[in-house]
Structure 1
Amino acid sequence: MTDDFGGAPHQPGSQWYDGEAGPLVRPYAMTGGRTTPGPTGVRFDLIALVTFDPRAPHAKDDSALGPEHRNLIDLCRAETQSVAELATDADLPVGVVRVLLGDLLELGCVTVSRPVPPAQLPDERILREVIEGLRAL
């Protein structure tokens, strides 16, 4: 039996396999149907920086975590990355990465920091005056 478009024959479970992409797992299956990053209340901006915490309880024995969680930990273990970078490197939608990071944050496997908003940065004029004052010493 072939599909309606004259393609390859149907195999049992073939709706979960794409010839070019390989096995398919729907995003809601990776997150258990959740769309928000848990009760932590943390909003993961695209530029939020995620760092692996080696002191975490699951840092050495991560068998309790799913494969997507372990992949994110491996990506963060090498270096601090933004949420956008993690989504790209893990080849997952940003919404899925946010939910998975919420799980990892609750478990203490990662820490999240936000860059300083531009409004809170010192004024460039003040920095120039400080530099000029230091040069005058």
Structure 2
Amino acid sequence: MSREPEWVDEEAGPVVRPYAVARGRTRSSSTALDLLATVVSTGSPVPAQAELSGQHRRLLGVLDGRTRPVAEVASELDQPVGVVRVLLGDLLDHGLIRVRPPMDKTNSPTESLLREVINGLRAL
């Protein structure tokens, strides 16, 4: 009596491997999509030649005009960051999202400035 593997979880629905979501790809088409980069949808219509999966459309729905870090988007979709980066690369190739690099450390406030702000707030 052989048992077939369980491919459906009653609560979660069908189980799909991450490499299937990314169509077997492991790298994004863009090097700008690191963990701290932020992405936002452009609001452009989906081109007719774009072959977008349900996951691509779900990803666009998560963005919905809001600027979000790549890591946060991956967490919300409950997908590995590598898979989300591949999907975001596809959307970037079709002009459906914009990517903003993470803030440069040279432009960030210094620790001493932050401490002064904290002390000023405490004094209030």
TM-score by length of 2: 0.75
| Match in the other structure for 1:85 | 72
| Match in the other structure for 1:54 | 43
**Structure 2 stretches lacking a partner, 5+ long:** 113-124
How far has the Cα of 1:22 moved from its partner? 2.2
Q: Secondary structure of 2:64's partner? A: helix
* Matched residue count: 113
Deviations along 1:35-87, one digit per CA (max 9) or x if unpaired, are 0002x4x23221211000013x407x798410110011011114111101110
**Structure 1 stretches lacking a partner, 5+ long:** 4-9, 126-137
| Match in the other structure for 2:57 | 70
When Rg is computed on C-alpha atoms for both structures, the one with the higher figure is: 1
Q: Percent identity?
A: 43
Q: Please tell me the root mean square deviation across aligned C-alpha atoms, in Å.
A: 2.7
* Counterpart Cα distance in 2 of 1:28 and 1:34: 7
User: Does the aligned pair in 1 maintain the 2:32–2:99 contact within 8 Å?
Assistant: no
| Match in the other structure for 1:22 | 13
Q: Does 1:32 align with 2:23?
A: yes
* Counterpart Cα distance in 1 of 2:66 and 2:7: 33
Deviations along 1:105-126, one digit per CA (max 9) or x if unpaired, are 001000000132112447688x
The one-letter code sitting in structure 1 at the alignment partner of 2:22 is T
The one-letter code sitting in structure 2 at the alignment partner of 1:36 is R
Q: Secondary structure of 1:36's partner? A: coil
Q: Does 1:115 align with 2:106?
A: no
